[in-house]
Each structure stands twice: as structure tokens, then as C-alpha cells.
Amino acid sequence: MKTVWIVGGPGCGKGTQCERIIAKYGFYHISSGDLLREEVASGSPRGASLQEAMSQGLFVPTDIVLDLIRERMEKAKKEESTKTGFLIDGYPRELGQGLLFEKNASINVCPVDLIIFFDVSNETLEKRLLGRAAAAVTQRADDNLETIKRRIKIFNVKNGEIVNHYKDKVVRINAEGSVDDVFAEVSKALDALLK
């Protein structure tokens, strides 16, 4: 089983491409943002503690994200829900998160095999997120201009250290093109991994 991380700025198309990947390759998809939003919506004390940071576009504590991911991976393994592997979307956000994921054997996560980085300009990120916000029936608390700019700024500070550290495992994809064009590049990377 393989573990693939999907990284890239807010609105670069991580979720969009993950849907395509699941349909074609059958990975078990774990989106850190979706897990966190589910936790907030559940009304649990853990969820309540996340809401403020998320609505401001700030990182939530790593131990909470990693716990949620680990719980979901363990559930998938018990159910034997995946043979291909895990598609971890939106994690890591900083190098420390990546190192923790890989090193802490006691939490039952596993080394990463491939990191797909969707590279998009700040202008495109902003445009895509504002487009999503304008079209959304239910507004995300963090899809407003001020918070979008903060999310992009934090991404630009933090992502480079991940890409540098894991350079042998990173496939950088120019994700300015259409969804189909980007997916064609994603498919090349996954075909090479799974051959």
C-alpha cells in the first residue's frame, strides 16, 4: 500500500484532483480540512477548540489533525477499505507535520511514497477561492478575501521547507491549466508510482 500526500496552496485544486484520483485509482482519501470541518460540525469539545483558528485561516494544533488522520487510517485498515493506499490531502502544512507523520511509529501512520505539489500563482489561488465562494450554497467561514490572503501568506512561508526536505519524493505539477490538463500530469506521476 502506498501513501501519497497532496500539497499546494489554498484553492490550488487539491480536493478537485483528489476526486479524480479516487475515481481512477481507488485510493482512500483523507482530507485534513474535511476531517476538521466534520469535527467542528459534530459539536464535540475538540471541534469547538478548532473553530476560531480555522475561521481565521490559521493552522490548528498538529496533534489534533494527526489524531484525526490516524483514527481515519486505522478505520480504513480495519475495514480493508483500500488496497491502493492512502491519499492524504492538505497534510502536511509544515515540515514538522511531515516528520511527525513518518517518524512516530506508535501512531500507526506510515512513510510517504510520493508528494504531489500543485503549483499555482497567488493570483490564481485567490481567483479560484473567490469563484468558489461566489458559487457556494453554503459559505465556508474561511473563504473571504481577508482570510484567503492570510491563508496564502502562511502557505508561502511554510510550504517551501516541505518541498526542499522531501525533494526526492516531490512531483511539482504546474496546476494553472484546466482540471483535465492537471489530471493528465497527476496520472503520469501515479502511474509511475504504481507500475
CB atoms closer than 10 angstroms to residue 116? 27
Amino acid at 53: A
Which residue, 65, 40, 43, is CA-closest to 52? Answer: 40
What are the cell numbers at 131?
A: 469563484
Q: Which helix (H) or strand (E) holds 73?
A: helix 62-79
Total residues interacting with ligand AP5, rule: CB under 6 A = 32
Is residue 98 within the footprint of ligand AP5 (CB under 6 A)?
A: no
Among 91, 101, 117, 166, interactor with ligand AP5 by CB under 6 A:
91
Does residue 13 touch ligand AP5 according to CB under 6 A? yes
Subset of residues 27 to 86 that bind ligand AP5, contact rule: CB under 6 A: 32-33, 36, 53-54, 57-60, 65
Site for ligand AP5 in 105-124 (CB under 6 A): none
Closest by Cα among 142, 146, 148 to 124: 148
Tell me, rounded to whole angstroms, the distance of Cα 44 from its chain centroid. Answer: 23
For residues 173 and 157, what is the distance between their CA atoms, to the nearest angstrom? 19
* Site track 143-172 with ligand AP5 (rule: CB under 6 A), x = hit: --------x---------------------
Task: Calculate the CA 62 to chain-centre distance.
Answer: 14
Residues of this chain, 126-145, that bind ligand AP5 according to CB under 6 A: 128, 131-132, 142
Q: Is 12 in the site for ligand AP5 (CB under 6 A)?
A: yes
- Residues at the interface with ligand AP5 (CB under 6 A): 8, 10-16, 32-33, 36, 53-54, 57-60, 65, 90-93, 97, 128, 131-132, 142, 151, 175, 178-179, 182
